[in-house]
Chain A
Amino acid sequence: MDEHEWERYLDGDSDLTALYRASQAPPPATPRADARVRAAAQAQIPAPPDATRHPLQRARRWWVPASVAASLVMATSLYLVQRPVVLMEGPPPPAFKAAADRAQESRIAPPQAAPQTLPSTSAMDTARSTREPHSATPERANAAAPAAALKKQPPLPQALQAPVPRQMPERQEQEKQAAEAIARSSGTASEPAPGFGDGGSATEDAALSDPQQWLARIAALAAADQLESARGEWLRFQQRYPEIALPAALSEQLGRSP
């Protein structure tokens, strides 16, 4: 082999190279090796988090709990704002008393005069006392208690006396009947919930006004295997807070749907 041929070979311009390149047909398929190599190559690549999800799907993951939480907060806030709470056990200050008297006078007005205002606090309170029998002590649970509590209440803020279009007259009627039934009763509220002591106390009242505390108490009853009591409490809770669903774990314990 002379130098000229050698140089041509190194330049890739030799007949031998051309002939050999003609033999460089695509090699036969190697499916087994291909599959193994590709699988190994892919296995080495760490999957990015949520790579298979569409960005909108990823975003929806936090939308859902956020919107549920926001709705819950709003519903609870609305309920707490609309629900008058008896904050004072003793007689109100004179200024409050005068305001309460004025409010009472305005509430005595017939329903036709203000058909689209909030339900009267007396009806709400009497109905509440029906649903919260254990929230009052036996002494307080006599027929005069709702009226006495009513007199102690400060007037509703003006903003809360705005028209409420969806107020149902049937419900008002039911609440009124419940109040009358209590007034006719022997002066005792329905028996306190088992496990809650002999009667209501300020602490229990606070617990029952807080749905979370109430649920915790129901859960405690269920955990103590007092399932019947817990179910009864749950029924009362449902009447009081119909918008709140029973937590899944608790519903399993009680054998009820949330």
Chain B
Amino acid sequence: MPLSAARAVRPAPIALISTSMDAPISDEQLMQHYREGQYAAFEQLYARHRPPLLRFYRRQTGSPELAEELLQEVFMRLIRSRERYQPSAPLRIFLWQIARNLLIDHYRRQRRSLPSSYADFDPDQVAASERVQPDHAAAHNQQLERLLSLIGELPCAQREAFLLREEAGLSLTEIAQLAGVSTDTVKSRLRYAIGKLRRALEET
């Protein structure tokens, strides 16, 4: 490879690549490195957050195409807002806030109003089109399919709380902060969701 061509490829800074022996570099540090012009830092952020975000969207919308579109838009907004991002704020919250806002925007466009289930816990208010179909490509186990199907049948707010807990790994407080509700409300939503899932799985 010519020297100039080799130099044209911006090398990934070694400092960004954490080994299994080291503590993984935080999202905030990665974002800071990206702000400073290190593209490799963004690649790590993308690799870290793309899978849970994509699963979240697929299970919230039931549409792989829409999920991909929303996923793309999340990162586009993250890129555009990189200058505004304050390292003091957890990037995970920042990112999932964007993801949630986009989903709500999608609901608004589709239905001209927020799903009622975000305001209350009435599962009948959730349109059938929003319900997630089992991700057959992801799991062939019948029990897994059943679980995913049951998750799709949860009311939006309960499903959101469950997915934010499982996919994003957020605490109850963080979910409350992100959703703009109290921690007790999040706790209620989550307890309802888990209770329903457990009962349904025990019945099958």
Residues of B within 8 Å of A54, CB to CB, are 3-4, 7
Given contacts A17-B166, A19-B144, contact A25 B46 (CB under 8 A): no
Given contacts A1-B195, A41-B39, A42-B39, contact A23 B135 (CB under 8 A): yes
Contact assessment for B46 and A24 in the assembled complex, using a CB-CB cutoff below 8 Å: no
Which of B79, B137, B172 has a CB less than 8 Å from the CB of A40? B79
| Nearest opposing residue in chain A for B199, CB measure | A1
Distance in angstroms from A162 CB to nearest chain B CB is 46
Residues of B within 8 Å of A38, CB to CB, are 43, 46
Given contacts A37-B76, A37-B79, A51-B7, contact A32 B194 (CB under 8 A): no
Q: Is B139 an interface residue (CB 8 A)?
A: yes
Which of A9, A19, A52 has a CB less than 8 Å from the CB of B147? A19
Contact assessment for B82 and A44 in the assembled complex, using a CB-CB cutoff below 8 Å: yes
Q: Is B69 an interface residue (CB 8 A)?
A: yes
| Nearest opposing residue in chain B for A25, CB measure | B138
| CA–CA, A138 and B95, complex, Å | 91
| Nearest opposing residue in chain A for B5, CB measure | A52
A residues contacting the other copy or chain, number (CB 8 A): 37
Distance in angstroms from A6 CB to nearest chain B CB is 7
Which of A19, A36, A51 has a CB less than 8 Å from the CB of B72? A36
What's the interface size class on B, roughly?
Answer: 35 or more
Main secondary structure on B side of the interface with A: helix
Most B C-beta atoms less than 10 A away, residue of A9, A16, A32: A16
| CA–CA, A38 and B78, complex, Å | 12
Contact with B along A153-175 (1 / 0, CB 8 A): 00000000000000000000000
Q: Is A22 an interface residue (CB 8 A)?
A: yes
Distance in angstroms from B48 CB to nearest chain A CB is 13
* Chain A residues proximal to chain B, CB less than 8 Å: 1, 5-6, 9-10, 14, 16-17, 19-28, 30, 32-34, 36-38, 40-42, 44-46, 48, 51-54, 57
Pairs A-B, 6 closest by C-beta atoms = A33-B72, A27-B54, A37-B75, A25-B138, A1-B195, A41-B42
